[in-house]
Chain A
Amino acid sequence: MALKDITLGQYFPGTTILHRLDPRAKLLLTVLYIVALFLAKNALGYALLAAALVAAILISKVGFKAVFRGMKPVFFIVIFTAILNLLYTAGAGEPLLSFWIFRIYWEGVRSAIFMVLRIMLLISCTFLLTYTTSPILLTDALENLMGPLKKIKVPVHELAMMMSIALRFIPTLIEETDKIMSAQKARGASFDSGNLIQRARALVPLLVPLFISAFRRADELAVAMECRCYHGGEGRTRMRQLKYAGADYTALVIGFTLCGGVAALNLLGVF
């Protein structure tokens, strides 16, 4: 079934150095990378960032195929952005091409290419993060990094718990949807034929059981948590303690260097 093929931040188990990095370091590294992406103003900067990402993908061993597959859903947006940038960026010199009401300038081509690169690198790097970090670790890292916000009464633990539960149940619900779809198909239901109204109506036999089972699961989970004396984040200790190690510091240094390097390359002003 096609539903199973959805890669929604799917985790590829592995033991590479990228998998073993502290999730906080990885999260910070991703943020630094994104900052660097927005700092980059010339081709050299983008080249440096692209090279860094390619290196990271090679180290992680998840394969370029997987990263590209994640990009499929945003393909349309990328193309759309490129076209808009191409057509609506006004430049100083002579237009390269002009037809009807549009004039395409060298600056437009440049900004379209950079914009496409920027979006693709941004998506690839976040996909790489979710491919190499399990959702549970990721929420742990988020909770830890957002810790200081507790001082201003942000319910950090509750938010992190909600997130990890939501992430935990995405595959379960997909599987459940798949199962109910098969069961209703076995009774002759069809989900991919007819006009829009017929298709919407065909979803009723799928959505009703799905909602009922989601509520049932939520109820069971709440009871199970209560049985194990869950009462929020207060005084709660963790089985997995997050600890920075040498590799994590190295990774962060690389991240900052990347940012600094891109900023320095901007001064060179090539293209």
Chain B
Amino acid sequence: MAVMENSGLFSDLQMPRKEVWAVGGGKGGTGKSFLAANLAIALTKMGKGVLLVDADLGCANLHTCLGVSPRTTLSDFVQGKIKNIENVLTRTEIPNLALISGAQDYLEIANPKHSQKMRLIRQIHELNFEYIILDLGAGTSFTNLDFFLSADTGILSVIPEPTSIENVYRFIKSAFYRRFKKIARDPEVKEIITLAMDEKNERGIRTPHDLIDQVAALNEKAGQKLKEAVYTFAPKIVVNQVRSKDDMTLGFSMRSSCGKYFGIKVDYVGYVEYDDHVWQATKKKRPLLLEFPYSNAARCLERTVSNLIKNEELKLNSIVNQ
């Protein structure tokens, strides 16, 4: 490593240094903003320069989690009042952490035009930070899905409840099929994909496997492309509000189900224990990692960040043997 730093021999062989993470998951109240804010802070504690973006265009409240009141927000940018996205950055009291606050005032901003949205995503990606973390809103709107798909790492926040799990699967399915649709060129293939989104479709497509088979029968090359897309779509799961060992292993069960149903590899990167400190910190409008850095939940978050950075996942052994 020392050689690499000193000699500059490999200076032209650098890996991309910027990483964009998106935190989504469908349902509201599953800890997306909590997770995004605390993952960001954990990264700054490791000395990384981090930008946190409140991409919840309809119901932004990340600034409250951080206890700041921003003067400018994304709506100023989307509406064109501010031309350069750098001027929307808000400093926070946390060293190395900047915030782009979401729109709070204009409701129509929640559904920006496609071109506006793509411009927004592009400009955010061009900002110069080591880590950019996007906190997505609830639901499977195209805006949420496009933000999610734009990220290098998609993180899904889930709590151990049937409704939350159902929504995460729905989110994965929507994101997955949207990705397929963006890849497909053939209008007939696009049509099949649209059809497949409806679970009771007339072609009898029940799973992504069925879809790929039907696409491949129509257009072999397109089928191959979709297959490749399956291999490269690998969201991460974080289970929040964990109260039992069964809750802890939920991530493994979800990983298995996604593998068998979608054919994708989902990484289970961490869980966060249910902890009263989270509730106390939230009431104080303070991020958990600053208010209670030694709490159980904070330790869980730090472990999760470490797994995300190293591209590792939890091991079944580490939980079963506890």
Tell me whether A and B are bound partners: no
Point out residues on B near A: beta carbons under 8 Å.
Answer: none
